[in-house]
Amino acid sequence: MLHSKKTFRLNQLAFISAFLMAFVLAAACVAVEPVYAQFDFNFFLGNTVSDEDINGVIGTEWDDAANYADIDIEPQGRAEIWTKNDGTHLYIAMQFTADSHNPWVAFQFDLTSHMSSGADGAIFGHDRLGENEYRDIAFGGLGSISADSIQDGVGAINIANSNLVTVELKKPLASGDLAGADIGWVAGNTYTLIIRWDSNGGGSSGGDSSHLSGPARDRSVFINTDPIPEFSILTLIVALATTTIIVVILKKSLSNNTD
């Protein structure tokens, strides 16, 4: 009977230990995670990505980027999005399922409302400007886009089976290309980003999604001077040590009660 009672208490100890371990680790994670809820997308400071790795395939180059899953995109659908900067370039990648095998995807940087005249942009897969390619563009108002004479940045689009679309972009924060209406973004500031795609004509085909349907959503983006927060080794050691001390105290207390 005594043996059974002791086993029960040891099982209790094991359960409490596991619970405390999970609780302390979770609390430690929260402690090192700053809150950036006021921004739609946080472009954390990360490693430089080579031009060759901007190829339409999501790889390890995005491991130090902020990752956003199930983001509503216009005119329809949900996407996974990655964002970061290296102090000189901003990086953005997006992956979603389109309703055709020939869509185009566009980003508008700065200014509000869809296709604002004078806004900087990037477009991928537009049949007239560059089929299956990236183009650095400027918007001239609703229905008007033009490729910049100087093509800044590197981009890629890849359309895989089941119309899975992947785009990657490496773009200078400030190229100095005023003729192309290029952005002059500074780290530490907040800006605006608009994302749209199309599949039903005017540079695309085969689908029913129009970039003119519904209002465009202005997304706030923050060019961060800090890297993405990580769960540090020091935090892990402190959490494990704290849990170990608590478990030892509990074990001693249970041992005294069973004697």
Q: What is the pLDDT of residue 253?
A: 60
Ranges of each domain in the chain: 2-33+231-258, 41-227
Q: What is the pLDDT of residue 248?
A: 58
Q: What is the pLDDT of residue 256?
A: 62
Instruction: Return the HEC string of 204-258.
Output: CECCCCCCCCCCCCCEEEEEEEEECCCCCHHHHHHHHHHHHHHHHHHHHHHHHHH
Q: Count of residues for the chain? A: 259
Tell me the per-residue pLDDT of 213-231, one tens digit each, with 9 for 90 and over: 988 899 999 999 999 987 4
Between strands 78-85 and 41-45, the pairing is parallel
Cβ partners under 8 Å of residue 204, min gap 6? 100, 102, 103, 104, 125, 126, 127, 198
Q: What is the pLDDT of residue 214?
A: 83
Q: Residue 188 corresponds to which tokens in the numbers above?
A: 């530490």
Q: What CA–CA distance (Å, rounded) separates 67 from 210?
A: 26
Q: What CA–CA distance (Å, rounded) separates 48 from 54?
A: 11
Identity at 15, one-letter amino acid code: F
DSSP single-letter state for residue 47: -
Q: Which residues of the chain have pLDDT under 50?
A: 2, 10, 28-33, 231-236
CATH T-level topology, domain 41-227:
Immunoglobulin-like (2.60.40)
